[in-house]
Amino acid sequence: MKKLFLFLLLSTLGFASSAQTQDELLSAATNRERQRINAERATLEAAFDAEEDACYKKFFVNSCLNAIKPRRREAMADLKFREVALNEQERRQKAAEQIRQTEEKSSPEAERQAAERRATALEDTKAREERTRQKASERFDLKQNEAVNAAEAAGKDQGSKERAKARADKQAASAKEAQIYKDKQQEAQERKATREQRLREQTKPAAKSLPAPD
């Protein structure tokens, strides 16, 4: 009888220890996810701030800023959604802990069933966490790519404007040089005509004098 009682006591303690370990794993997973959310928020905020700083270097500042706002709201809303889901998961975890503490006082069979339910819940939580992390990672990569593409597009646009200005300056310089050359040619022709006119006047025979009257 004493051996049976000892076996039941050890079994109950084993289930309690297992349940406590599972709760600790869930709590650690929740903390890791919260840290990831905070890190992603900081990274996204820095990226969007950099985009906004670039907008102030453009001519259409407000248009550039307005294009960033909806992407920023969407990214922050996604993180907020994950935070809400995490808080709900934490609430359920605390409720499960209360149930576990209550069930520890119940029969070994009930404790075994509770342990199975917690194990199932833990697996479900891990799977859901993995899906959420994968989805968040994909969205984060997408946002990063969008930010990089936007920065590259801004750089290309600035480069195109600079090249267009350089072409316009070169054309203006060429036109100015052509006009200067044309003016010089005209001045040379005028000087030549003047010299030829003077030469003709110098070589023109003198008029014969009239005979003296008788």
Is pLDDT above 50 for 4? Answer: no
The domain locations on the chain are: 13-174
**How crowded is residue 66: how many other Cβ atoms within 10 Å of its Cβ?**
11
DSSP of 59-90, one letter per residue?
S-HHHHHHHHHHHHHHHHHHHHHHHHHHHHHH
- In angstroms, what is the C-alpha Rg of the chain? 45
Length reported for the chain: 214
DSSP of 127-157, one letter per residue?
HHHHHHHHHHHHHHHHHHHHHHHHHHHHHHH
pLDDT band at 153; cut points 50, 70, 90: confident
pLDDT band at 213; cut points 50, 70, 90: low
Task: Give pLDDT, residue 1.
Answer: 43
Is pLDDT above 70 for 166? Answer: yes
For 5-27, what is each residue's pLDDT tens digit?
344 444 444 444 454 566 677 77
The topology (CATH level 3) of 13-174 is Methane Monooxygenase Hydroxylase; Chain G, domain 1 (1.20.58)
Nearest to 48 by CA among 70, 63, 33: 70
How confident is the model over 141-155, as a mean pLDDT? 80
For 36-66, what is each residue's pLDDT tens digit?
889 988 998 898 898 889 898 888 888 898 8
